[in-house]
Amino acid sequence: MNSLKHESASRALLKEYIEAHKEIIDALPHPSFISDDEFNIAFFSSSMKRLFSNFDNPEKLKCCELFHPPCAAPRTCPLADMLKEGKKGNIEIYAPLPEKRLLVDASALIYKGEFIGALHCVTDISAIKKTEEDYEALIDVYAEAINEMKERELRARKGREAFFNMLEDLNESYGELEELFIKLISVMINSLDAKSPWTKGHSERVSQYAEQIAREMLIDSDEIKNIRLAGLLHDIGKIGTIDYLLDKPGRLTPEEFEIVKRHPAQGAAILREIKQLKDVIPFIEYHHEKIDGTGYPYRLKGDEIPVGARILHVADSYDSMTSDRPYRAAPGIEFALAELHRHRGRQFDPDVVEAFMRALSRQKTEFRV
């Protein structure tokens, strides 16, 4: 069993090695091929295929079946022993090709600490004077080719490392910019909330409530970021609202309420030129729309309202009902939860309300900052 596992692992490593290096091997100036640790042919370069174009499926043979005399016994590779010892070797071999004498230079392939096979480089020496010096020159040529291949691999590895380091630096820089962006938005929102003592901390709380609801609804992380950001910015349009309306001790007149109702559209208009917020703006613009179509500013209904806006509507309403206002004291948490439950399906999305209730129940807290 261990032997089978080892054989399987060796084959997997060889496949991985071939996939990573086949283009380089294919580009070598001489016919080349790779055999596995049992000397079965595993990969033929294009020039190798041309050299043996008259043979059917030469890649399905052992290298000894392709290159050594049929009478040879046993049918094994003469280079096997020296390669398995990690040595290099070359040998003039017989091949059933008319008027050709071939020289094979072979190197053991050690990959991730394992012997996985051999790389063979072949040349036709039919027209070369067979002297020891000629053979040594040929060996040097192939040694140089193999070294070049290794150098290319090293350069490629260094290039990959440099690329990944660059990506890491860019990711770190992006994270810092994103953090700075959020801090700038928080400063701007705190300045807005500071216009009225009644709204201090409102945007931060709505953002946190909305994030908790979105997580309970298993919304993906990028969308949660957008919802959290929309929570911070949902009242940005009130910058254009007359200050006394925010602190008015009594209820607003219908005319005054019409002015206040403009703030979702005004907020969207203020942020429209910031391309990084294009996915956030709809949540801000529609966060006062109601499921039954009686909300503002566009009287959207049901699925016409983005999920992020429906979440903000619940979070914003809950915080408003649990906070004091100049015209009334906070009705309280029990009242707020009862109102969310009573108006679900008309004013509020039932799924959002249920997610909010589950989050409250799980955390066993008043959900207040």
The enclosing H or E element of 138 equals: helix 132-193
- Spot the catalytic one: 238, 248, 275, 290: 238
Q: Are the CB atoms for 180 and 194 separated by under 8 Å?
A: no
Beta bridge partners of 90: 105
Residue whose tokens read 């392709």: 66
Ordered DSSP codes for 180-194: HHHHHHHHHHHHHHT
What own/partner pairs with CB < 8 Å and gap ≥ 24 does 178-181 have? 181/276
Q: Are the CB atoms for 221 and 191 separated by under 8 Å?
A: no
Residue closest to 277 by CA, chosen among 181, 192, 155: 181
Give 3-state DSSP helix, strand, coil % of the chain, rounded to 5.
55, 10, 30
Residue closest to 283 by CA, chosen among 235, 220, 318, 221: 235
Residue closest to 216 by CA, chosen among 362, 368, 334: 362
Instruction: Provide the token pair at 312.
Output: 């903000």
First to last CA, the chain: 61
Residue whose tokens read 């399987």: 8
Residue whose tokens read 């350069």: 155
- What letter does residue 265 receive in the DSSP assignment? H
Cα distances (Å, whole numbers) of residue 65 to 71, 174, 287, 288: 10, 59, 77, 80
How many angstroms separate the CA atoms of 100 and 45, rounded? 19
Establish whether 112 is a catalytic residue: no
How many other C-beta atoms can be found within 10 angstroms of the C-beta atom of residue 245? 15
| Active site members | 238
